[in-house]
Amino acid sequence: MSAPAPPPEGLFHPIAIVGGGLVGASLAIALDRIGVDVGLLEAAPPGALPAVFDQRNLSFAEATVHALTALDVLPRLRAPTGAIARIHISRRGDFGRVALNAADYGRAAFGRVVVARDFGDALEAKLQTLSRLRRYRPARFLGFGEMAGTASDGGRVVRAQGADGEFALRAKLVVGADGTASGVRDALGIASDAHDYLQTLFVARLRCERAPDGTAYERLTDHGPTALLPRGDGHYGAIHGVARDEADAVAALDDAAYVERLQHVFGWRVGRMLSVGPRSAYPIARVLAREIVASRAAVIGNAAQTLHPIGAQGFNLGLRDALTLAECIAEHRADPGAEAALARYAQRRREDRERTIAFSDGLARATSNPGSLMRPLRSLGLFALDRDDALRAQVVAGAMGYRGDVPALCRAEVA
């Protein structure tokens, strides 16, 4: 197949975003807020949400809540959210535990629990109000095309497959927000490093004898975390990690047997577990892009880093990618894909990204290590964290989304 002709001048956007999921849609909203025209390439057709907007439960850090409120997304949620007023961390078979209370830090909550489907509906409702956004859907990214000059001179040509055939558009900056298996990242030649944790995560809605009281529980085991998140509908969001070689057997359990398994792993802190909704399963792996920028291009969210879900860092980190990139674009509005803009973005993201990746991966590896020598070390670690105010404050700040150079919208609620 011959390459498509260079796009006409009319098919141009200063910014082209590939991927309309959680982070890509959030970036489009942030850019519209500062008056930037955007072309958004989405795999899902009109009237359908991306697959990522399912029944999984998203834990939004305080910084994320501030930003999404300022972007007029959270006010559009139709279902109630659940406040995370307390966090309780323990490990099966180990001594010690950590109990954190938001009130001790002058907060009503560390963050909120939102069902992904509800969040998708809120994002879609906001996207429909944007005046500077053009949506291309369904559109599948094919690669980059040629144009007169070089990418550094004038931009990039994005090739895509739409419902009516192949098309191309030109942009000063192309942003890959197309997930873990990012086609944009691959087309840019950005290498990535992958680690398979050999775990599978099951997600479901869980009804218990005791209704949620604002406590988020994280119970760590050899095969991954089991967490109960306080939803706003009186249920818990249950997250259960199992060894990959057990995943098929766990998936085959009927509801009663699955609830019994959860009760055995988690214990009785929420009383008897009564019933469970439909389950979804996700293999857990870490994928890290070695670079997050290239000539007139950037990757954000899961395209830049896909993390272990322990500690609920993934989307919160990806949103900070998007908001920081929007701020750098605002500083270089005349040419948002200029080398200086991208260098500034990479520099601003370095500390937050490195510290969050290290926290997530280190916690996942340390807590799932079954070695006998690790047990007393973990117990001592939990004991120390529960009693060291400075260490607790550092962990709390990270959990609320305040690491490194924090985007302005994350720092406080903005009208």
**Residue 233 Cα distances to 201, 225, 258, 262, angstroms:** 22, 23, 21, 20
- Closest by CA position to 319, among listed 2, 119, 25: 25
pLDDT for the residue numbered 392: 65
- Closest by CA position to 59, among listed 104, 108, 113: 113
Digit-by-digit pLDDT tens for the chain (415 residues) are 334 444 555 589 999 999 999 999 999 999 999 999 999 999 999 988 877 777 788 999 999 999 999 999 999 999 999 999 998 887 765 555 678 899 988 999 999 999 999 999 999 999 999 999 999 999 999 999 976 455 556 789 999 999 999 999 999 999 999 999 999 999 999 999 999 989 999 999 999 999 999 999 988 777 778 899 999 999 999 999 999 999 999 999 999 999 999 999 999 999 999 999 999 998 988 999 999 999 999 999 999 999 887 667 889 999 999 999 999 999 999 999 999 999 999 999 999 999 888 877 766 765 554 444 444 444 444 444 555 567 667 777 878 889 889 999 998 754 4
pLDDT for the residue numbered 138: 95
| Cis peptide upstream of residue 230 (ω within 30 degrees of 0) | no
Which domains, from first to last, does the chain contain? Answer: 12-193+285-409 (3.50.50.60)
pLDDT for the residue numbered 365: 61
